[in-house]
């Protein structure tokens, strides 16, 4: 019943799908025709925000994530809008202009701007500012990065 190798070769000399032998006891792959009968291997990533709400990873700031990763190996410029115990962080390889800070202020709803440089790994990223930082800045940067980039960093604030 089983076809021989000579009789099942196609024009190019390759076994056809019909004649290729299968090991006994194995089932054919389900492939794409399985539909929703089989659980998907890929699920869209979700994160839990600081307020306990689910947010999609697509809602994260990809530009901030990339800039923070760049800060691991080189000095970057930052602007941080501090508003109480919260804030908005902007990181860039070049100086951040007043127009970009004002735009972020409008989006965030205000805040006092702090500018400086940052660099280092996530576990001890150093933020250098030109004047003495407030006590809430450490926690506010940590919270803003977690919310906007989904990253856990341990900021070290250095002032004069």
Of residues 139 and 160, more confidently modeled: 139
Q: Could you tell me if residue 149 is inside a domain?
A: yes
The whole-model pTM stands at 0.64
The first and second tokens of residue 23, run together, are 């090991």
Instruction: Confirm whether 55 is domain-assigned.
Output: no
pLDDT score for 45:
54
Cα separations (Å) of 154 from 15, 24, 36, 89, 148? 59, 56, 42, 14, 15
What is the tally of structural domains in the chain? 1
**Is residue 117 in a domain?**
yes
Question: What domain range is 133 assigned to?
Answer: 60-158
Do residues 71 and 125 make contact, with C-beta atoms less than 8 angstroms apart?
Answer: yes
pLDDT averaged over every residue in the chain = 79
Domain contains 24: no
- Whether 39 is in a domain gets the answer no
pLDDT digits (tens, 9 = 90+) for 19-35: 556 666 666 565 555 55
- Which residues share a beta bridge with 86? 83
3: which DSSP letter?
P
**Host H or E run for residue 155:** strand 155-158
Q: Which uninterrupted H or E stretch holds 63?
A: helix 62-70
Does some domain include residue 136? yes
Q: What is the CATH number of the domain that holds 89?
A: 3.50.20
Contact 95, 108 (CB under 8 A): no
Residue 43 belongs to a domain: no
């Amino acid at each position: 019943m089983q076809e021989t190798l000579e009789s099942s070769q196609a024009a190019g000399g390759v076994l056809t799908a019909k004649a290729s032998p299968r090991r006994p006891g194995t089932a054919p792959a389900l492939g794409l025709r399985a539909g929703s009968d089989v659980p998907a291997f890929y699920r869209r990533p979700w994160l839990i925000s600081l307020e306990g709400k689910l947010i999609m990873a697509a809602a994260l700031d990809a530009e901030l994530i990339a800039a923070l990763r760049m800060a691991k190996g080189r000095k970057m410029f930052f602007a941080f809008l501090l508003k109480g115990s919260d804030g908005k962080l902007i990181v860039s390889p070049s100086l951040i202009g007043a127009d970009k800070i004002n735009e972020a202020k409008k989006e965030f709803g205000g805040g006092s701007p702090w500018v400086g440089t940052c660099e280092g790994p996530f576990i001890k990223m150093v933020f250098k500012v030109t004047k003495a930082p407030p006590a809430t800045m450490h926690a506010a940067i940590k919270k803003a990065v977690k919310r906007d980039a989904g990253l856990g960093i341990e900021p070290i604030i250095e002032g004069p």
